[in-house]
Structure 1
Amino acid sequence: MADAHGLEQLTLAQVATQLGVRLPSLYNHVEGLPGLRHELALLSGRQLLERISRAAVGRAGDDAVLAICRAYRAYVLEHPGVYAAAVRAPAPDDTALVALSEELIGILLAVLAPYGLSETSALHAIRGLRSVAHGFATIEVAGGFGMALDRDESFQRLVEGLIAGIKTAEK
Structure 2
Amino acid sequence: MPRERLTPDALVSAAADLADEIGFDHLTLSALAKRSGVRDASLYTHIGGLADLRERVAMLALGEWADALGEAIAGRSGHTALTAFADTYRTLAMGRPGRYAATRHPVPPDRLAASGDAARIIDVCYALLRGYDLSEPDATDAVRLLRSTLHGFSDLEATGGFTADHSLDTSWHRAVEALHHTLTHWSDI
TM-score higher than 0.5: yes
Where does residue 12 of structure 2 map in the other structure? none
Higher relative contact order (CA 8 A, sep 6+): 1
| Number of aligned positions between the proteins | 171
Where does residue 83 of structure 2 map in the other structure? 66
Q: Moved runs in structure 1, 4+ residues, more than 3 A?
A: 88-91, 95-98
Partner deviation per Cα, 1:110-159 (whole Å, 9 max, x = no partner): 22112121132112211221111111111111122223311111011112
Confirm or deny: 8 A CA contact 2:24 2:101 kept in the other structure.
yes
Where does residue 152 of structure 1 map in the other structure? 169
1:101 to 118, 130, 141: 118
Partner deviation per Cα, 1:14-71 (whole Å, 9 max, x = no partner): 1001100111111122111111111111111111112111211222101101110110
Where does residue 87 of structure 1 map in the other structure? 104
Give the % identical residues. 36
Q: CA deviation at 1:76?
A: 0.5
Letter in 1 for 2:157: E
Confirm or deny: 8 A CA contact 2:21 2:98 kept in the other structure.
yes
| Counterpart Cα distance in 2 of 1:133 and 1:68 | 10
The answer to whether the aligner puts 1:29 opposite 2:42 as a matched pair is no
1:18 to 9, 19, 35: 35
* TM-score, normalization by structure 1: 0.91
Q: Secondary structure at the match of 1:94?
A: helix
Confirm or deny: 8 A CA contact 1:12 1:32 kept in the other structure.
yes
Q: Secondary structure at the match of 1:138?
A: helix
* TM-score, normalization by structure 2: 0.83
Where does residue 68 of structure 2 map in the other structure? 51
Partner deviation per Cα, 1:86-107 (whole Å, 9 max, x = no partner): 1146432224566111112112
Unaligned runs of 5+ residues in structure 1 are none
1:133/1:42 Cα in 2 relative to 1: closer, same or farther (>3 Å)?
Answer: same
RMSD: 1.8
